Amino acid sequence: MSGLQFFSKTVDLIKFKSVSRPQTYLKVNARFSWRIQFDAKRDGRRYYHDESFGFRRREETILPDYTPSQLENRRVNAPLMRYVDSMRTHGHRAARIDPLDLLQREEVAALDPSRYGLTDESKSYPIDGIIWSNPAGPNRTSSEEWSLKQIVAHLRSIYVGRIAYEFMHSPSKTERLWFSHVLESAPSVAPANAQSNAEKKRIWELLVKSEVFDQFLQLKFPNLKRYGLEGGESMLPALDALFAVSSAAGVEHVILGMPHRGRLNLLTDLLKFDPAALFHKIKGGSEIPEELGYSGDVISHLVSNPTLSYGNPPASLKVSLLPNPSHLEAIDPVALGKTRAKQFSLIKDADPNCKLGDKVMCVQIHGDASFTGQGVVMESLGLSNLPHFTSGGSVHLVVNNNIGYTTPAASARSSLYCSDIGKMINAPVLHVNGDYPEDVARALETAFKYRNAFRKDIVVDLLVYRRWGHNELDEPAFTQPQMYHLIRSRKSVPSLYEDKIMHEEVITSEDASNLRSSYKQHLEEHLAQSASFTPKLELPEGQWKDMVLPVLDEAIRDPDTGVKSDTARDIGMKSVEVPSSFELHPRLRRHISARQKALESGRGIDWATAEAIAFGTLMKEGFNVRISGQDVGRGTFSQRHAMLVDQNTESVTVPLNANIPSGGKLELANSSLSEVAVLGFEYGMSWESPMLLPIWEAQFGDFFNGAQVIFDTFIASAETKWAKQSGLVILLPHGLDGAGPEHSSMRIERMLQLTNDPYEFPSDAKGVEGSNVINMHVVYPTTPAQYFHLLRRQMKRNYRRPLIVAGPKALLRLPAAASSLSDFEPGTRFSPVLDDPSFMKDRGSEASKAKDPQRVSRVILLTGKLYYDLEKERAARKLEESVALIRVEELAPFPFRALEDVLSRYLGSGEVKETLWVQEEARNQGAWTHVKDRIQQVLDRVVGTVPGSEQASPRLRYVGRKEDAVPAVGVGKAYREQQADILRRAFEGL
């Protein structure tokens, strides 16, 4: 019995009791069996949810199976077949891929034909179905017979040469066959004219320019850490070959992520970066106009976005080199996300001819030590074939120096090759010797052909060396004396290749001399121009043309985000509307009924409904929405249910997409259990278009710390370093509720510490708080309406900035935390400070019940869900007329003026004896350290402006948990005692 038959038979044996509706068992079982058989033929995984928007499965490339005659030949000549497969499997272990020959290469026993009984070199064998002398296609069969000597020579020239291949680990027979066809049907030994003279000159020019550039910088700026490419110059022709072959195949845009090594060479020699701008930066100038107030970044993080030209007739190829922080691999998921987003229109339009990767390709350059050592690599690779994250396959180029900083490979990884991490997704690997640039170019061409055929990732391990240490001021011989004795006694890669093509009479010695002198003169001219160079910031273009820089006066910071009640009600209803034939889970019927009743009455709107209305109204206005994370379709707390699954068929509907005619779409991207890669991916999505509202939701707020590098190096700092805008929204469920240390806190204190929120009360007359300079917003909303307005504000502004939301858990279904449709109406917007409703005069028909703020003796300032506990405790103590509860909903930028306006209603009479900041987080956590000095400034101003008042400015007092090493205790009794103590002390003495 085959594995597939066994799998289907197992499904047939499911017990009736495991099915909730026995009468539909046969129908359900039949569908499941069909799906499993269909998908098992693809990759052995069971798929569902394939109807939801954005879910894109890779199209499979299938090669024909062996013909009966080929199978018979494989049986009769089984020893030969075993030998050939051993060459394919183990040839890389003997290949000459290390330019320094420091790898312990040895003749592998499995490569000896005599081990398989093959000893007569003159004996001929039919090769059909064993060795592929013809390319894959209709004429893939062969009637040829080769001698054993021919077979051995042919296979060794392919598998034990300067390019080594690892593909036999793939579980896909088609992929293994594809590689065998491609490699073995090529000429057994690449002739000298495998590349044209023009191609050889192109390779030579790139190599020489890289060498001259590094030598020029060393001469002019000897104390500069430039992280040059000397020893690894083959990286440039590798990328050039990749760009050329991809452009010929129709790719129009390459998204490129890379670390610092060789970045300046690539920028100036291939990506058209102005050398004058580089020299201006090296001499201490800014790459961004200084009047904008941005900090900029170091030279090894500079970027370029040129349009290159390849082919005849020439075709344009846009290359976008993304900015990268010094966390070397952090750019990987960001590049993936931007690549996916660039193809969003293809997904959205559902073009049946669209294949992800046709027009856009992601290329990632890595260092050997970081590729094998940093977890973000594994998490990013894990996204590569997921239906909501795939972008059509990435080409990974590992520039392998066989050393990380000063650490040898033996101490840097546990695997044989640094590229072995790629095998977790069965990615094929090509190892190539960087001393031979033509082989390098061929390896990259083969890599692209695989990527284009299968739309999957592939790794090219480019083995090179570092002529200098980690940087040019380092002495590597301290720790690597033998390696650097070899390096310093050998010719450079450009010189070796120059000698080769001079011997082939492709160039002359005069050509060589002229290129070096002319390029050096070119650099000299730009060095002189750098003295008067003035940086210019590229104006937003394309999808960003209507956006402005957030620091400019034209920025609209507080737009009207309200919508008509009828519109909100209609969208809310449609967000849970399903076809009559759709079989809902019984518990969801109650969920939908409750939502409908609230919408009909206009009261009791919960968080999920408010979110759905925000999504739906934005979609009607042409915006797209994407929310990703674990279980986002239903929501971690089973609150969202924006994706509904038919209980009979497991087909999926997303009501907002199905029921609302709009230009926008909602993508619910249930993700892998990753933080750093998924957050980085969504951040990359946010860079592509301001018309997309990208949201990442952590299962619990505490889990963000697995993605701290993305927060630190991208979200918090990208605008000030690179002038890059992002509208990413990050939902981090927060709140102490007895769930213990890792399910309670999104570490508000860390987020606030990452902001550049001004400490001083704003002096500008416009009172824009810190919105014009803040790097990201940090909010803790307490009502669904506030959350609704935040989401809409994020898109209605004419600029983009990240938004960090301390999201609800306990408030998701709390009746007291619900909103009314009137809170969504035109003219309403997000309020950074919420006054106490009991003391507000504008309460409509309840205005007569508003209490007098001048009789308040204690003001409690707070943020978040604790408000509802304090409100309940205040009522129990009958202190509604003497205690005011004021919520600070936006913690950064701190709302100085809004808080001043609210506090002035209470502090003018002199009755207020005390002002408290109350929080449930520990004193060394939460918002306390961020707000205390800022609130005190507001208190001083309010009291100081009361005419004739001699009242002393009230000092702000802290009430909350004491300092702690954890966000929350794990003992339920202790949690309840601590929470009760906070409530007691908040009202103590009244």
- 804 plus 906 within the same structural domain: no
Residue 888 lies in a domain: yes
Strand bridging mode 652-653 / 458-463: unpaired
The two three-digit tokens of residue 862, written as one number: 């707070």
Look-up of token digits 């799906």:
35
> Looking at 35-39, 376-380, 744-748, 818-822, which range is the least confident one?
35-39
pLDDT at 472: 80
Rounded Cα–Cα distance for residues 586 and 590 (Å): 7
> Looking at 61-65, 554-558, 623-627, 736-740, which range is the least confident one?
61-65
Percent of the chain at pLDDT > 90 equals 74
Angle at the Cα of 475 (from 473 to 480), degrees rounded to 5?
145
- Would you say the pTM of this structure is higher than 0.85? yes
- 147 plus 100 within the same structural domain: yes
- 123 plus 235 within the same structural domain: no
The two three-digit tokens of residue 649, written as one number: 């068929």
Question: 607: buried, middle or exposed (CB in 10 Å: 19+, 13-18, 0-12)?
Answer: buried
pLDDT at 557: 92
Domain termination site, one of 121, 153, 185: 185
Q: What is the CATH number of the domain that holds 207?
A: 3.40.50.970
Q: Find the domain containing 791 and state its range.
A: 565-734+780-824
pLDDT band at 842 (very low <50, low <70, confident <90, very high): low
- 101 plus 221 within the same structural domain: no
> Using H for helix, E for strand and C for coil, what is the string for 145-168?
EEEHHHHHHHHHHHHCCCEEEECC
pLDDT at 56: 78
For the chain, give the mean pLDDT: 89
Residue 17 lies in a domain: no
Residue 287 lies in a domain: yes
Query: Is the torsion defined by CA of 861, 862, 865, 869 positive or negative?
Result: negative
Cα dihedral value 913, 914, 915, 919, nearest 10: -150
Question: 713: buried, middle or exposed (CB in 10 Å: 19+, 13-18, 0-12)?
Answer: buried
Please say if the pLDDT value at position 333 is more than 70: yes
> Looking at 4-8, 667-671, 776-780, which range is the least confident one?
4-8
Rounded Cα–Cα distance for residues 932 and 927 (Å): 8
501-510 long-range contacts (CB < 8 A, ≥24 apart) are 501/200, 501/201, 501/204, 504/192, 504/200, 506/197, 506/200, 506/201, 506/204, 507/201, 507/204
- 917 plus 798 within the same structural domain: no
User: How many helices (DSSP H) and strands (DSSP E) are in the chain?
Assistant: 32, 26
Rounded Cα–Cα distance for residues 693 and 711 (Å): 18
Q: 376 Cβ partners below 8 Å, 6+ apart?
A: 327, 329, 330, 332, 333, 676, 677, 680, 709
Q: What is the CATH number of the domain that holds 860?
A: 3.40.50.11610
The two three-digit tokens of residue 239, written as one number: 């990328």
Reported as a single tens digit per residue, the pLDDT across 770-825 is: 567 899 999 999 999 999 999 999 999 999 999 999 999 999 999 999 999 999 99
Report the pLDDT averaged over residues 972-982: 95
Report how far apart, in Å, the C-alpha atoms of 201 and of each of 6, 13, 196, 352 are: 58, 66, 9, 42
Report the pLDDT averaged over residues 817-836: 97
Q: What is the CATH number of the domain that holds 636?
A: 3.40.50.12470
Q: Is 932 left (phi over 0), alpha (psi -120 to 50) or beta?
A: alpha
- 797 plus 692 within the same structural domain: yes
- 286 plus 423 within the same structural domain: yes
Kindly give the residue spans of alpha helices, DSSP state H, lying in 112-262: 148-159, 173-184, 197-220, 235-248
Rounded Cα–Cα distance for residues 751 and 445 (Å): 45
Longest dimension (CA), the chain: 114
Domain termination site, one of 791, 824, 857: 824
- 147 plus 275 within the same structural domain: no
**The length of the chain, given as a count of residues:** 990
Report the pLDDT averaged over residues 541-548: 88
Residue 609 lies in a domain: yes
Report the pLDDT averaged over residues 754-774: 76
Domain count within the chain: 4
Domain termination site, one of 794, 824, 854: 824
Question: First CA to last CA across the chain, in angstroms?
Answer: 80
pLDDT at 49: 52
Reported as a single tens digit per residue, the pLDDT across 567-593 is: 999 999 999 999 989 999 999 999 899
Report the pLDDT averaged over residues 656-663: 90
pLDDT at 891: 98
Report the pLDDT averaged over residues 743-760: 95
Residue 765 lies in a domain: no
- 707 plus 812 within the same structural domain: yes
pLDDT band at 23 (very low <50, low <70, confident <90, very high): very low
pLDDT band at 20 (very low <50, low <70, confident <90, very high): very low
Rounded Cα–Cα distance for residues 241 and 42 (Å): 32
Give one DSSP letter per residue of 268-300, joined into a string.
HHTS---HHHHHHHHTT--SS-GGG------GG
Percent of the chain at pLDDT > 70 equals 91
- 820 plus 845 within the same structural domain: no
Report how far apart, in Å, the C-alpha atoms of 658 and of each of 653, 662, 934 are: 7, 10, 47
- 603 plus 728 within the same structural domain: yes
Reported as a single tens digit per residue, the pLDDT across 158-216 is: 999 999 999 999 999 999 999 999 999 976 445 445 689 999 999 999 999 999 999 99
The two three-digit tokens of residue 617, written as one number: 């109204």
Residue 360 lies in a domain: yes
Please say if the pLDDT value at position 730 is more than 80: yes
Reported as a single tens digit per residue, the pLDDT across 24-43 is: 322 333 333 323 233 334 45
Q: 304 Cβ partners below 8 Å, 6+ apart?
A: 267, 271, 272, 273, 319, 321
Question: How many C-alpha atoms does 263 have within 13 Å on its Cβ side?
Answer: 28
Cα dihedral value 474, 475, 479, 485, nearest 10: 130
List the one residue out of 778, 717, 806, 672 whose CA is nearest residue 333: 672
Rounded Cα–Cα distance for residues 102 and 692 (Å): 50
Question: 33: buried, middle or exposed (CB in 10 Å: 19+, 13-18, 0-12)?
Answer: middle
**Is the distance from CB of 911 to CB of 856 less than 8 angstroms?**
yes
Reported as a single tens digit per residue, the pLDDT across 381-416 is: 999 999 899 999 999 999 998 888 778 777 788 898
Q: In what order do the strands lie in the sheet with 458-463?
A: 163-166, 429-433, 458-463, 394-400, 360-367, 253-257, 315-321, 307-310
pLDDT at 910: 76
Query: Is the torsion defined by CA of 375, 377, 380, 385 positive or negative?
Result: negative
Pick the more confident residue, 52 or 115.
115
Pick the most confident of 418-432, 538-552, 935-949. 418-432
Pick the most confident of 63-72, 237-246, 939-948. 237-246
- 819 plus 839 within the same structural domain: no
pLDDT at 13: 30
Reported as a single tens digit per residue, the pLDDT across 83-92 is: 999 999 999 9
Residue 533 lies in a domain: no
Please say if the pLDDT value at position 767 is more than 60: no
Please say if the pLDDT value at position 323 is more than 90: yes
User: Is residue 669 classed as helix, strand or coil in its secondary structure?
Assistant: strand
Rounded Cα–Cα distance for residues 794 and 561 (Å): 10
Report the pLDDT averaged over residues 438-461: 97
**Angle separating helix axes 866-876 and 972-987, nearest 10 degrees:** 60
**Is the distance from CB of 459 to CB of 257 less than 8 angstroms?**
no
List the one residue out of 668, 680, 554 whose CA is nearest residue 611: 668
pLDDT at 402: 86
pLDDT band at 350 (very low <50, low <70, confident <90, very high): low
Residue 760 lies in a domain: no
